[in-house]
Amino acid sequence: MPSPYELVVLTVRQERDIMTSGLVPGKSAVETPSSARTRKKSTGYLVWLGFAGFVSCAVAVFSVSAYVTLDIDQSRTPVRGMLDYGLLVMHVATAVVALAVGVLQFVPSLQTPRRPVHRWVGRLYFACVIPGSIFALPVAVMSLQGLAASAPLSVLCVLWFITGVQGLRTALRRDFRMHRIWMIRSFALTAAAITGRLYIVIMLAIIPDSYGATDQDISAAANWFSFVGNLLIAEWWIQRGNALGRPRNEGQRRPVQGSAK
């Protein structure tokens, strides 16, 4: 019979082998059909993530291009004066960084909270989202395009701030499950900068001129669709369990062993 010292050494060696091989005790190293499907889904997820990153960077470059020179006459959004323009520029600067780095939060290899890259990217994201939403709110409220444009943008700013703060709070509490959920909601609102432009292009293409819809009407409708549609998709993804990497039927109640039937 091995001595207690030999048992400790054997246990440590087994744990070391498990950590280095990436296996879980009691599980086979042979790839099952389920694990193969997961691997294929991961490949598709990475392709989608790469496309989203490319589009995010393209929109970020397009958005910031009109404000690099700090010329108020080149502003794509009508402003009331230099103060309004200054807030708009600071919002654009922080929003484009949040849009560019936000995609990195969903890279599987970086999603482990203990990884320094994930933490620093997250800090940069929050440092842009929270001030960016604050800068954008007065610009939205004082919009020269009227209430139709001001209302959806103001709601978007408030929700963007709330989801960003909740994402930060859950991370500080180390509640990583809720942190992931709030980050999905937050980036869904950040991505409204992308979907809003797509909706404008689509509506300009399909709405006949005989309807009498002006550019401002289309822009206002696109502003609503941009973040409401994104949030609906995000909530659908969260409720299905895909966002948390759990099976769909995980939330179903299981009978307790030994209970009366």
Which of 46-50, 73-77, 184-188, 211-215 bottoms out in mean pLDDT, i.e. has the lowest?
Answer: 46-50
pLDDT mean over 112-125:
82
Q: What is the pLDDT of residue 252?
A: 45
Q: Report residue 260: phi and psi, to 5°.
A: -70, 140
How far apart are alpha carbons 35 and 43 in whole angstroms? 12
Find where tokens 């800090």 sit.
Answer: 123
Q: Average the pLDDT over each of 8-12, 114-118, 191-195 and give the range with the smallest value.
A: 8-12
Average predicted confidence (pLDDT) for the chain: 78
Mean pLDDT confidence for 182-187: 94
Its pTM stands at: 0.72
- The identity of residue 86, as a single letter, is G
C-alpha–C-alpha distance, residues 126 and 130, integer Å: 6
More reliable by pLDDT, 241 or 233: 233
95, 173 contact by CB (below 8 A) = no
Alpha-helix residue ranges (DSSP H) falling in 66-146: 82-102, 116-141
Does residue 163 register a pLDDT over 90?
yes
Decide if pLDDT at 162 tops 90.
yes
pLDDT surpasses 50 at 18: no
Looking at residue 255, what DSSP letter applies? P
Query: What average pLDDT does this structure show over 46-50?
Result: 76
Give the model's pLDDT for residue 225: 93
Distance CA 21, CA 38 (A): 19
Taken in order 185, 232, 56, 226, the sign of the CA dihedral is: negative
3-state helix, strand and coil shares in percent for the chain, rounded to the nearest 5: 75, 0, 25
Share of the chain above pLDDT 90, in %: 34
